[in-house]
Structure 1
């Protein structure tokens, strides 16, 4: 069964709460777990909507994962193109506080496969402060 779509107002409010939790976007330290989870799931939803497809799986444990980007469809086993990162890094990428290349170079993004590159797909939304 498909998960219900997160309303834009609700999702943006969660991202805003995360971004302003302690005055610095990207820390995620002062926001409650439910709000953090909602912000992550909302931005993953935006990625799947803005880059539909099934060739790349983006994972942000423990809160969610989506398949996105047009290309060969993955159907069984471990996907060949996987991006995985932590919630704070993911949200910083989603709002443009962090660049893909910098986060990848710092080892905060694990990406495998020839299509596992979100350059040009993030940020997903404008800063929501």
Structure 2
């Protein structure tokens, strides 16, 4: 059996991970899960990848029962992994942090004569909606 600290971490991370899969989708979370389970053996990595798919399928109709079942499955998977890889405990919080949405960039080029907002505009303008001011990710 696992110790209380390990189970508390695994259970908390499992619930948050299920919520992140529901919010961000399986595709975005699959990469985070794969990174987290990078120390695992091949069978554990396959089980984690399958768990992402199973969770996404269970959450197509997100009932409290489906979420609880998914969270229980993740808690068990995470507890087994953390028992073997205690150094991964410090990374659990990063696993379930939602991925920020990708920024959307529009380019507008104004040419010609006439008055645009606030005067003449020459050249172009880039709007970066949802990203960082400098466009870095």
Please state which band the TM-score falls in when normalised by the shorter chain: under 0.3
Scaled by the length of structure 2, the TM-score of the pair is 0.24
Please identify the structure whose Cα radius of gyration is greater: 2
**More helix, by proportion:** 2
